[in-house]
Chain A
Amino acid sequence: MIEARDISVTIGGKRIVSHVDFTARPGEVSAIVGPNGSGKTTLLKALTGELAYTGTVTLNGRDLSAMKAVEVATLRAVLPQATALSFPFTVREIVRLGLIGGRPGVLPGEDARLPERALARVDLDGFAGRFYQELSGGEQQRVQLARVLCQVWAPVLEGRPRCLFLDEPVSSLDVKHQLIIMNIARDFARRGGGVVAILHDLNLTAMYADRIFVLSRGQLAAAGAPADVLNDELIEKVFDCRLKVGALPEGSVPFVLPQSAA
């Protein structure tokens, strides 16, 4: 459980996030949405302790700033937007780095094959021996997700829920893999873990999120269940775009929604 109160982040004299309250519950997918530059990633970095913030963040009831890196790493894993490497690591070597903290939450001996299992989950079976740098952006993103999954393989460890932080996990993926990744996130939550994801696709958000936090110019514009939050008025106010929620296109313009997935 992540609980953040009155979070503000100032970078270079400019306030990027101001007075945001945020709660992510175990068993739920919490989505952060908002236009470019609204402070989504900055908020996520404050919640993971990567950026200095004012206010309080607690992880399972304990103050994040008072916890050691090792302790925090057993309770949550973080997927950044993109990760560039300058050394020729193989895919397996990268995924294995997720096991560095040593608490994946599997039976002893099972962790040796965990990289392969994680790769299979993100639909990268057979990629273990490839060089990371030779993969496409979307494939690299899935390799990183496999690494993150290794770190917190069991969503609950010793009775304590663990959390996945995902910064735009599907932004560079094709539609098939968008669904695979979002299903992994939902599955993680169903088995008792918490998921905090920054998303851009409002349809995917509506489909997968249990709770949405809408950011606008660094402030919380709305928070709640998708059905309560996503309405015409909010979209126009926050995204500066006159769109109708739930309206079908006229005539014969084709449209494909993730919700139609069989």
Chain B
Amino acid sequence: MAEQSIADVGRVMAAEGDRSARARVVIALLCLALTLSVFLSLTSGASDASAVRVIRDWFTGAIPADAALAARDRLIVYDIRMPRVLLGVLIGAALAVCGAVMQGLFRNPLADPGLIGVSAGSSLGAVAIIVLGTTWLAPVTLAFGTLALPLAAFFGGLLVTLLLYAIATRQGRTSVATMLLAGIAISALAMALTGIMIFMADDRQLRDLTFWQLGSLAGATWPKIGTVGPVIILALAAMPFLSRGLNALALGEATAGHLGIPVQRLKYTAIVGVSAAVGASVAVSGGIGFIGIVVPHVLRLAIGPDNRYLLPASALLGASLLLIADAVARTIVAPAELPIGIVTAVAGAPFFLWILLRKRGIIDL
């Protein structure tokens, strides 16, 4: 088995119990996997447009025989597939890294941005725009146009996170347990409000809502990437600075503090970063489940829980998996397409259960 031989290489190179050499090998392989996934995504789809041909023409400057066909292909590759692939990479990486960071912060392998209500808050914001966009919230949609929905989802997520933080912080200390419980309550409230709006929605809105709630990368456009891309990239760029602190936090907040980690600042940065990245992701792609939980979990089994390697590896694997899931979603029922959330759930849930059963001894939930 490939995984086994990688493990052996790691063992030879490093001190016993030190998995960093192995982690580096895995990260290198994941870079390769992401490259392949990007290539696969650019070349596959409902149309017969050839990305290879488009790219070759671009490089060689050759003038294609059939100009109309070439123009169509360029349109499909540049304006449909490329933004979609880029969005998939950004969102896959964001969901997986945010999952890993939340799990480190809550010291619980089951923690997920969905759990503390960030996703629910984002959903509420987006649903409000879909349902009330032509009536009560008409000024908002008028002012921001197609960006109204992503912005509403982003601020919904941020609002929930700030509310949670205010509830859970007393005298400068954030209680993770209070935050978790408050998150569950706020999630329930946000979902109830979302339910009321679904109740008010008409048929066309309902179809929009359902599709969006199941998650999809179908709406990818360059302007949308321009809006959420910088947010996600900034948030992800901040995460590596948290890795040592998150490692120490595994021993408990008090012990992390004794090791010299500024725990409050660590928690604050992690929370703001996660809510920004998750809010932005949910805004453009809806609720895509299981990436945030399965990816860090699988990687912890392969390379261990050291966040210095877990965070970059999560970004790479999350991006690859989401691209593959999206390729499946686009092609399996072509020319129609499946919401990607269905693909990630159908593949992710049983896989997750299998891992739990196989490795129950080591992972103590």
Contacts and interface: CB of A to CB of B under 8 A. Distances in A.
Interface of A: 45, 48-50, 52, 68-74, 76-78, 80, 83, 85-94, 96-98, 100-101, 113, 115-116, 126, 128-131, 133-134, 151
Contacts of B262: 68-70
A71 B361 CA distance: 39
Q: Which 10 A-B pairs have the closest CB atoms?
A: A73-B260, A92-B17, A128-B17, A87-B305, A90-B17, A129-B16, A101-B260, A129-B17, A78-B258, A70-B260
Contacts of B301: 88
Contacts, number: 106
Contacts of A93: 17-19, 304-306
Interface in B242-280: 244, 247-248, 250-252, 254-255, 257-263
A120 B196 CA distance: 63
Interface in B220-250: 244, 247-248, 250
Nearest to A77: B258
Interface in B125-184: 171
Contact of B16 (A74, A76, A85, A92): A92
Most A CB within 10 A of own CB, among B248, B258, B364: B258
A100 B364 contact: no
Nearest to B252: A83
Contact of A50 (B251, B254, B362): B254
Contact of B305 (A52, A88, A96, A151): A88
Contacts of B261: 69, 100
Contact of B258 (A68, A73, A92, A116): A73
20 contacts: A68-B262, A69-B261, A83-B251, A83-B252, A85-B250, A86-B107, A86-B109, A86-B364, A87-B250, A90-B17, A92-B16, A97-B247, A97-B248, A100-B247, A101-B259, A101-B260, A113-B15, A131-B362, A133-B362, A133-B364
Nearest to B262: A69
Nearest to B264: A69
Contact of B259 (A88, A98, A116): A98
A100 B362 contact: no
B330 interface: no
Interface string B39-52: 00000000000000
B16 A87 contact: no
Contact of B257 (A69, A88, A113, A130): A69
The binding surface of chain B is classed by DSSP as: loop
Contact of B260 (A50, A96, A100, A115): A100
**Contact size range, B:** 20 to 34
Interface of B: 15-19, 107-109, 171, 244, 247-248, 250-252, 254-255, 257-263, 300-301, 304-306, 361-365
B258 A48 contact: yes
A68 B97 CA distance: 29
A88 B363 contact: yes
B300 A72 contact: no
B251 A97 contact: yes
A85 B258 contact: no
A53 to B, nearest CB: 13
B19 A72 contact: no
B3 to A, nearest CB: 16
Nearest to A130: B17
A212 to B, nearest CB: 24
Contacts of A74: 260
Contacts of A100: 244, 247-248, 259-261
A83 B259 CA distance: 14
B362 A92 contact: no
A87 to B, nearest CB: 4
A52 B263 CA distance: 16
Contacts of B255: 78, 80, 83
